[in-house]
Amino acid sequence: MAQTKDILEKALPSGRVFFDFSEWHDYTRDAAEIIHVPEALFFAESEADVIFAVRVCREHDIPVIFRGAGTGYTGGAVAVEGGLMLSVERMKEIHIDADAKSAIVGPGAITGDILDKAAEHGLFYPPDPASYRESTIGGNLAENAGGLRCKKYGVTKDYIISARGVNADGNFVEVDNMSPFGLCDVLIGSEGTLFAFTEITLRLIDLPRPGKTILATFDDSVKAARVVADIMATGIIPSIMEFMDGDAIACTNEFDSANKIQDCEALLLIETDGVHGNDEAVRIEEICNRHAPALLRLTTDKAESERLWLTRRNLSNAVKSSAAVKTAEDVCVPPSRLPELVEFVKELHDTLGIRVNCYGHAGDGNLHVNFLLSEDTEAGRAIAERGVSELFDRTLALNGTLTGEHGIGITKKEFLRWEFDEDTLRFMMRLKRSLDTGGVFNPGKIFSE
């Protein structure tokens, strides 16, 4: 520790490198609330800062952990092996090129700010994770974030034109979506273990024509999931289709009483857009009615729609505030299997003896499942861990995947071999070692040795 402090204190600019984390406690954790204290924290303000810091750390075998806003849920941005926490949050420039329909942004730019700037020019950046008002674009690239609109419009990697950054040797690298070997796609979603993004060029599209917002509530969560499966089976792809079960709804109503939603066992929030948006809304309404909704409401009122979507975007914080300990997982199954997964979550809630709820991006079968403890006890954590294992086991049995958008980090790395065979895992490790020969980029993540 003392040696690392001496090296970094001499090498990095004073006033932007810190060693006392009593004043920087947020940088010891991410949204998973798993605490690991780095040896140092450095605020980079330019690409040159990142290159220099990486070269210093590479020379002295000091781990480097890259951090945006710290909104991740898998411990991907915590310092499990000490080292330097390198924050890019000050690299937040945004430049919109309306003629080229593109945006050049720094990795610290807040996703919601990019959406707002694009909208000023009649343009649209579709990937919008629920944390879009907090999360950074660099973090979105690290996790290949999706969001509420990902089924219709795609995820982060689908909007990357090119990216600049730094490899683990401290060398400048530039890739684009035509790079050989699909190198750009390899780096996106690598959770800071292969590359440090320093500038990103994003593709923008024209703002879609607004359609309708549909609220449908049900007396049974499985019934709501069947509506999702039926909608997707028709070939209709709403711009957004979100699911919440009854317990999640109770959390959000308690969190924000000013925007209360009618108590129910489940709801769907659906939005259409584009030239066929209104026709699609009519067909969705017909499908909902076949499943006897308790409430069905369609609106084109922007204020009412915003109120409903605020409820959804507040949901993660609402669920977190309802418990002493929250374990959040983001499994994903084919939409046709979503009813089975929702039914299994109900079984977990009824049998585990702890509170379990779920919500998520129903259109692509991405379900966020939360295990909630009213108090932090060893016995309670053991029950939650068992529930997570059972959830992962059932997800894979339904031809699903262990993560839809949160990544692997440290919380899921022990389960990676449940989904991939040993030869595939060895191939992934060879890739990591070939691109990070010193093992300094975000060590301890994704893989279990």
226-244 tens-digit pLDDT: 999 999 999 999 999 999 9
- Residues paired with residue 105 on neighbouring β-strands, in sequence order: 94, 200
* More confidently predicted of 129 and 398: 398
For residues 47-61, give the mean pLDDT: 97
**pLDDT, tens digit (0-9, with 9 covering 90-100), for 334-368:** 999 999 999 999 999 999 999 999 999 999 999 99
Specify whether the CB–CB gap between 174 and 163 falls below 8 A: yes
pLDDT at 448 over 80: no
Around Cβ 137, how many Cβ atoms within 10 Å? Answer: 30
In the structure, how many helices (H) and strands (E) does the chain have? 15, 18
pLDDT at 449 over 90: no
Specify whether the CB–CB gap between 372 and 247 falls below 8 A: no
**pLDDT, tens digit (0-9, with 9 covering 90-100), for 377-397:** 999 999 999 999 999 999 999
Q: Is 416 exposed, middle or buried (0-12, 13-18, 19+ CB in 10 A)?
A: middle
Specify whether the CB–CB gap between 164 and 202 falls below 8 A: no
pLDDT at 2 over 80: no
Specify whether the CB–CB gap between 440 and 58 falls below 8 A: yes
Specify whether the CB–CB gap between 205 and 340 falls below 8 A: no
Single-letter code of the amino acid located at 138: G
Q: What integer pLDDT is reported at residue 319 of this predicted model?
A: 92
pLDDT at 17 over 90: yes
One DSSP character per residue, 127-150 reads: ---TTTTT-BHHHHHHHT---TTH
pLDDT at 85 over 70: yes
For residues 133-150, give the mean pLDDT: 94
Q: How confident is the model at residue 24 (pLDDT cuts 50, 70, 90)?
A: very high
Radius of gyration of the chain (CA): 22
CA 121 to the chain's CA centroid: 27
Q: How confident is the model at residue 447 (pLDDT cuts 50, 70, 90)?
A: confident
Compute the mean pLDDT over every residue in the chain, rounded to the nearest whole number: 94
pTM of the model: 0.92
* More confidently predicted of 128 and 86: 86
For residues 81-106, give the mean pLDDT: 98
Q: In terms of Cα–Cα distance, which of 97, 107, 92 is closest to 143? A: 107
Q: What integer pLDDT is reported at residue 307 of this predicted model?
A: 86
Phi then psi dihedrals of residue 46, to 5 deg: -160, 165
CA dihedral 77, 143, 340, 388 (to 10 degrees): -20
